[in-house]
Structure 1
Amino acid sequence: MKRKDPATKNQKYLAVFLAVTMFLSAFLIYFTATDSKTDNDNTPNSGADGELITVPFSQVPGKHVQHQFNSIADGLNMSPEGVTNAVYVDLQKTRGTPLEYVFGNEQTMNTSFSYGADVTKRYGASYGNESGFELHQIPEQEIDMPLNTQAMPYEGYQILDRTNGTYNIWNVVGSPSIIGPIQSVVSVIGVLEGNETSTTEYNQVLSQADLEGSIYQEVVKRTNSSEEISAEQYYRDLKKLDDGSYMQTSIYLNPDPEINEKISAYQANSSERGVTYNVTISENITKLVISSDFESIYNESNLLSI
């Protein structure tokens, strides 16, 4: 039976969320570091150096993205095949929760991406070749762009260069907006136009999830670079309930034996720790739902370390 080393077993619960944040933030770093056309060592924000102007989406000619964007499933439906991990965060729901310190809120994204407008929902997809892209919901339907922004027409869309050739960071406006390296943005448009196939490999775990109302959702699959994952795939989300408590759902596809063993062991006396367990095991899927206050879920996840 596969065992994790002590360092893995002692991971803190919020390390999951911090890892997600690092994953999301890595896109901005990747965008600004990829295909740089300058020797300047100072990495700017996603907005270009120099004057910015506010561009209403209505003034951008051509097609705009129009796609449902209420869960990680919607993001995956816009993602080309091959996603190794993806994260969806509803930044409207982080406010006033411990996760606001991890993910930030609507204004945090405004600052990080130099949009000049709030971002209420965020999705990021990563691929094994270290590429990726993000989707951002911007209700104000306008963003700051460099003066004399360059645009590349593609399939009727205008792909906007956020740094006018300095870095490989491009936007397509709409609901949601796309941001990423040009190759990734083109592939997402390919999915929207039916020229490329979207990711469907997580459909089995997603079919077992209640996708409505989550603060955060994540899917991950085991790859050569993520062998520490104790299942072929997993889905995880976190919700804040009406009474102020929290509920975390974890769904594992083809889990290692230790997952079910740990769940069974800690479920036996979970009431002593003030945690409610709801476990469903069917064929090759294990679904674990734990409910309690945030700190207790933190501690329980630390005990499970899966």
Structure 2
Amino acid sequence: MKRKDSATKNQKYLAIFLAATMFLSAFLIYFTATGNNNNDVPTPETGEEPITVPFSQVQGKQVHHEFNSIINGLEMSPDGVTNAVYVDFQKTERTPLEAVFGNMQTMNVSFSYGSDVTKRYGASYGNESGFELHQIPEQKISMPANTRVMPYEGYQILDRTNGTYNIWNVVGSPAIIGPIQTVASVIDILEGNATSTTEYDQILSQADPEGSIYQEVVKRTNTSDIPAKQYYRDLKKLDDGSYTQTSIYLDPEPEVNEKIKAYQANSSERGVAYNVTTLDNITKLVISSDFESLYNESALLSI
């Protein structure tokens, strides 16, 4: 019975992460819902078997940008990001988070790449649009044999569905996928013709994302209910098998600091270590314990 209770609690804890990151899996749905039906768009796919193309055979420029954290993803993101998530699938394997985020193989299937994806970043915008970045170490991709290509700033933007839906790829490290307008905006940043978002710089200056399984930033909007102007969270698995979760709040509501102070007072009784720091209008909380205890503590704190 105890084992069953533990599994149930783990599932509830995973639900917290799942609720915060639903937009990642929703991107592909958004792309398919915004297919371009103009008369000048070629007909949908012909049903031909896809072919595998090495990145080296794709003409033009390719993406070359560091991609080891959410910070790197934001460096490639146009302004207006309402929330963003970064996941390292090399670190989700054999952890409870694999049930939420999947792994390198499930990403391969989800996006029909024909190659494993080791890292994933997704940025969401208030107009219900978004894009993703994917690390594909095998440097090859599956695509329709007669894939349409849209040249832009020396890059070859590849039509993933040949006019059926507004889903386009640019290969490289990492690869870009999203609606063509957003993909072009990312290229503009890479080429220095536009600037990336900087609105999360203050909160990220207090973060240490290296080694994280998962990282998230979100800001308060009319549709998001968070107890701060901005919020950052990451999760890491330590060498001894325990976990540490970092939460950073920019301009937190009073109840945030009140809850942290109250539960920190007797946290050792629950087997959870607290480390709390404040700097001007930023509160940073790091809690460490086993996975189940982190769930319990997060539930108490309602974060």
What are the equivalent positions in structure 2 for 1:1-306 lying under 5 Å apart?
Answer: 12-37=12-37, 49-226=47-224, 228-306=225-303
**SS of the residue 1:75 aligns to:** helix
Normalised to the residue count of structure 2, the TM-score between the two structures is 0.92
Report deviation, 1:51.
Answer: 1.5
Quick one: distance in 1 between partners of 2:219 and 2:235? 19
CA gap 1:21/1:233 in 2 versus in 1, 3 angstroms: closer
Normalised to the residue count of structure 1, the TM-score between the two structures is 0.91
Give the counterpart letter for 1:292 in structure 2. Answer: S
**SS of the residue 1:231 aligns to:** coil
Report deviation, 1:281.
Answer: 1.2
Contact 2:35 2:163 in 1 (8 A): no
Deviations 1:70-94 (A, max 9, x none): 0000000000111010000000100
Report deviation, 1:20.
Answer: 3.8
Report deviation, 1:49.
Answer: 4.8
User: 5+ residue gaps in structure 2?
Assistant: 1-10, 39-43
Percent of matched pairs sharing the same residue: 81
User: 5+ residue gaps in structure 1?
Assistant: 1-10, 39-43
| Aligned pairs, number | 288
Quick one: distance in 2 between partners of 1:242 and 1:110? 28
Quick one: distance in 2 between partners of 1:50 and 1:217? 39
Report deviation, 1:211.
Answer: 1.4
Give the counterpart letter for 1:252 in structure 2. Answer: Y
CA gap 1:49/1:178 in 2 versus in 1, 3 angstroms: farther
- Aligned-residue Cα RMSD (Å) equals 1.6
Quick one: distance in 2 between partners of 1:299 and 1:48? 52
Quick one: distance in 2 between partners of 1:171 and 1:161? 7
Report deviation, 1:37.
Answer: 3.5
Quick one: distance in 1 between partners of 2:72 and 2:47? 33
Quick one: distance in 2 between partners of 1:49 and 1:69? 34
**SS of the residue 2:229 aligns to:** strand
Give the counterpart letter for 1:34 in structure 2. Answer: T
Q: Which residue of 2 aligns with 1:4?
A: none
Give the counterpart letter for 2:13 in structure 1. Answer: Y
Deviations 1:228-266 (A, max 9, x none): 210000100000000000000000000000000000000
